[in-house]
Amino acid sequence: MKMKETLYLETTIPSYLKAKQSRDIVQAARQQITTEWWDDRLKDFEIFISQVVVEEASEGDPFASAKRMEALKTFPLLEITEEVINLADKIILEKIIPEKAVRDALHIAVASYHEMSYLLSWNCKHIANAQIINRLRKTLADERFELPVICTPEELLERSE
């Protein structure tokens, strides 16, 4: 039996999945794509999250956070070790991600440290961003880690067109 590829689910995924329908066309499209990915492709991967995802998903409106937490409840947590924290610090020290976005650096560090195949995110400012990915790849290689494939749910949809 073929092993499933591993996937680290960053917080924007359950956020788009469980948010009330947006009137913004881009946000609405992301919500639809996320739902389609969740319904059709989630089962094809071994999904992991971290305590950072749990913390972020539990913030905000209690009703909305309860829906996000419900979606995440079955996924195992990847440990945030001292090495993960050091790797996140290095990402910030290299000014790849700003200090105010330390949680974004932690998502990348935990997924890299635990050798995930993919890091799934809609955070195109600090994570799913081609210029940042280029810089991350070099910094992580210098630290002897491999960057997972960072992508959005749209990139992991199977389309038959």
Domain total in the chain: 1
81 located within any domain: yes
Contact 107, 52 (CB under 8 A): yes
Domain with 92 in it: what CATH number?
Answer: 3.40.50.1010
Q: In DSSP terms, which residues pair with 98 in a beta bridge?
A: none
User: Which residue in this structure is represented by tokens 């810089």?
Assistant: 135
Tell me the residue range of the domain where 47 lies: 5-156
Q: What is the pLDDT along the chain (161 residues), one digit of tens a residue?
A: 678 999 999 999 999 999 999 999 999 999 999 999 999 999 999 999 999 999 999 999 999 999 999 999 999 999 999 999 999 999 999 999 999 999 999 999 999 999 999 999 999 999 999 999 999 999 999 999 999 999 999 999 976 55
